[in-house]
Amino acid sequence: MVQADLGAVAAIEREALSSWSARSLAEELQVSQANQGVAESAEKEILGWYACREVWSEAELLKITVKKANRERGVGRFLLGHLFLELQKRKITCLFLEVRSGNRTAIRFYEKNGFLQVGIRPGYYTDPPDSALILKKNLS
């Protein structure tokens, strides 16, 4: 993801729950040990994006969002596949993430892509209240 992508990514975020503001997106671009990726259509329209941070040999997926009109067409799977390869190149051994226990679509999506539940944080989210499931994908 580059500066020029921020407007399109912010628009995708505005459609989603727990969306990141344009300011948070711009700040994330400046973080070292962070990496972001976008998926584009043949016409160069941005269809989805992710944000990930790395700590030593582990990484955390902070965000993945696909444009509403383009969901369930493999864009999310493409983004994750790209991220897995990038992390493996850098010898990252596992990828963690937190997901709302009520976000059944995302949980199904992560399970389909090889994540397993390794923990739960009761009452972690507010507005609306929910627990966080901690999922992990082994990359080595």
Ligand X SMILES: CC(C)(COP(=O)(O)OP(=O)(O)OC[C@H]1O[C@@H](n2cnc3c(N)ncnc32)[C@H](O)[C@@H]1OP(=O)(O)O)[C@@H](O)C(=O)NCCC(=O)NCCS
* Contacts with ligand X, residue ranges (CB under 6 A): 16, 64-66, 71-77, 99, 103, 105-106, 108-109, 112
Helix (H) or strand (E) holding 66: strand 58-66
> Which CB atom, from 1 or from 99, has the smaller least distance to ligand X?
99
Smallest separation, CB 101 to ligand X (Å): 11
- Decide if 98 contacts 124 (C-beta within 8 A): yes
In this complex, which beta carbon is closest to ligand X, that of residue 32 or of residue 81? 81
98 Cβ contact partners less than 8 Å away, ≥ 6 residues apart? 121, 124, 132, 133, 134, 135
Q: Write down the least CB distance from residue 134 to ligand X, Å.
A: 11
Q: Give the shortest CB-65-to-ligand X separation in angstroms.
A: 4
Q: In this structure, are strands 94-100 and 116-125 parallel, antiparallel, or unpaired?
A: unpaired
Question: Of the two residues 32 and 125, which places its CB atom closer to ligand X in the complex?
Answer: 125
